[in-house]
């Protein structure tokens, strides 16, 4: 079985939640990790956690939805790690208030699309040359079960994650012959600050949360550690024939 030891990894959105846990897990398994995020203080917190655990971390601060920032984040990650061979596109947002399609404020829709679609595209655009220079590598995109299911009112987020799946598929097809594999993980509900923000922003958030729970046959929500476990496997080199896959990790949510 292959491992993450020695891999040079960029994780976006690594200042909290799933991204932070993935960065920590990869570092603990021997990878050098470039920790990406918009909030410099939280990025440094993740880096300190990695270093305190005996790992190697490089802070890279920027907004992935801004082309100049995305290019710089990738460049600084590659410089700090002497190259890149693994990229985890994790940065993403949801709206704190949902709307039916005709009621979505255009600026809010554009913001979600900018972070969840434009951002991953830009990180992929600027990091693929580094992966090719390394002789190939792995890209993992943290999508959502919302990419393949529908909750009325959350169309902007659902659409953005469906688009992210398609980005991953294109990378798999276009760059597979040159040694790059690309997959998505599609988590169900996971306890994170993003989830809490959405629930608190809804008038009946906790009641809706109970409905969400009922959609998980396993009887609970997921944990960031479980997502990191799956991410570590997919990026470890243990599954070189697995590419172009959009993998639910959702406690059965997408099968109900």
Active-site positions read 157
**Which stretches does DSSP call E strand in the chain?**
8-11, 32-37, 56-61, 86-89, 137-142, 180-187, 246-249
Kind and range of the H or E element at 123?
A: helix 119-133
The CA-atom distances, in angstroms, between 141 and each of 138, 163, 199, 205, 210 are 10, 11, 24, 27, 28
CB 235 within 8 A of CB 7: yes
CB 122 within 8 A of CB 67: yes
Question: Cα-flanking dihedrals φ and ψ of residue 151, to 5°?
Answer: -115, 120
CA-based radius of gyration for the chain: 17
Count Cα neighbours of 246 within 13 Å in the Cβ-side half-sphere.
20
Return the SS3 of 247.
strand
Beta bridge partners of 88: 11, 140
């Amino acid at each position: 079985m292959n491992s993450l030891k020695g891999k040079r990894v960029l994780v976006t959105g690594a200042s909290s939640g799933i991204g932070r846990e993935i960065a920590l897990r990869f570092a603990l398994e021997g990878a050098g990790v470039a920790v990406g995020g918009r909030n410099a203080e939280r990025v440094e917190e993740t880096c300190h956690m990695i270093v305190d655990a005996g790992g190697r971390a490089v802070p890279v601060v920027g907004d992935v939805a801004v082309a100049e920032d995305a290019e710089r984040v990738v460049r600084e990650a590659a410089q700090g790690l002497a190259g890149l061979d693994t990229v985890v596109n994790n940065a993403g947002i949801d709206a704190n208030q949902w709307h039916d399609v005709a009621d979505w404020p255009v600026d809010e829709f554009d913001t979600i699309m900018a972070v969840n679609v434009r951002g991953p595209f830009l990180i992929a655009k600027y990091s693929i040359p580094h992966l090719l220079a390394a002789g190939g590598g792995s890209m993992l995109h943290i999508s959502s079960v919302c990419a393949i299911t529908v909750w009325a009112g959350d169309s902007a987020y659902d659409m953005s994650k469906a688009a992210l799946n398609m980005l991953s598929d294109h990378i798999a097809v276009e760059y597979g012959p040159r040694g790059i594999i690309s997959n998505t993980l599609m988590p169900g509900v996971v306890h994170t600050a993003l989830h809490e923000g959405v629930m608190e922003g809804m008038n009946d958030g906790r009641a809706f949360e109970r409905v969400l729970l009922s959609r998980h046959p396993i009887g609970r929500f997921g944990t960031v550690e479980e997502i990191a476990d799956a991410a570590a496997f997919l990026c470890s080199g243990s599954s070189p024939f697995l590419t172009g896959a959009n993998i639910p990790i959702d406690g059965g949510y997408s099968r109900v």
